[in-house]
C-alpha cells in the first residue's frame, strides 16, 4: 500500500488508470478527506491543501479536528489469548501494556 503523511494524517494513495490520475483518501478518521493530482507533485500539494482546509474549516465551525489515534487502544480478544499475553508479559518483567506496546512496535517496525 502506498501512503503519504502530513501533519499527523496518513492517506492511502491509488492510481486511477481510467482517468490517469493519482488520488488519495485520509485513513483513520470518520471525516472524509480526499485529494487528487496528475503528478506526484500535484498530488502532494493537493494533500497538503486538503489537510490545511480541513483544519481551517474545523476551526471556523468550532469543531475539534479528528485525529487518527488517541493513544488508547481497546481490544477484545479471546480469554485464552489475554491470559497467554499476561503470562508472557509477567515472565519478562513487564506490564501487559508495555509488553503489548513492544510487540506492536516490533510487528509494525516503528
Mean pLDDT by 10 residues, the chain (110 residues): 93 96 96 96 98 97 91 91 95 94 93
Nearest alpha-carbon partner for 8 in 66, 72, 57, 58: 66
- pLDDT value of position 1: 75
Where do the domains of the chain lie?
Answer: 2-61, 79-108
Q: Give CA–CA dist 38/21, Å, rounded.
A: 5
Amino acid at each position: 500500500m502506498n501512503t503519504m503523511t502530513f501533519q499527523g494524517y496518513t492517506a492511502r494513495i491509488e492510481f486511477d488508470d481510467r482517468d490517469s490520475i493519482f488520488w488519495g483518501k485520509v485513513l483513520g478518521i470518520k471525516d472524509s478527506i480526499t485529494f487528487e493530482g496528475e503528478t506526484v507533485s500535484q498530488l502532494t500539494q493537493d494533500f497538503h491543501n486538503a489537510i490545511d482546509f480541513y483544519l481551517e474549516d474545523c476551526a471556523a465551525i468550532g469543531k475539534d479536528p479528528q485525529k487518527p489515534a488517541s493513544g488508547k487502544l481497546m481490544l477484545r480478544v479471546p480469554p485464552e489469548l489475554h491470559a497467554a499475553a499476561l503470562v508472557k508479559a509477567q515472565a519478562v518483567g513487564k506490564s501487559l501494556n508495555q509488553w503489548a506496546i513492544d510487540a506492536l512496535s516490533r510487528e509494525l517496525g516503528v
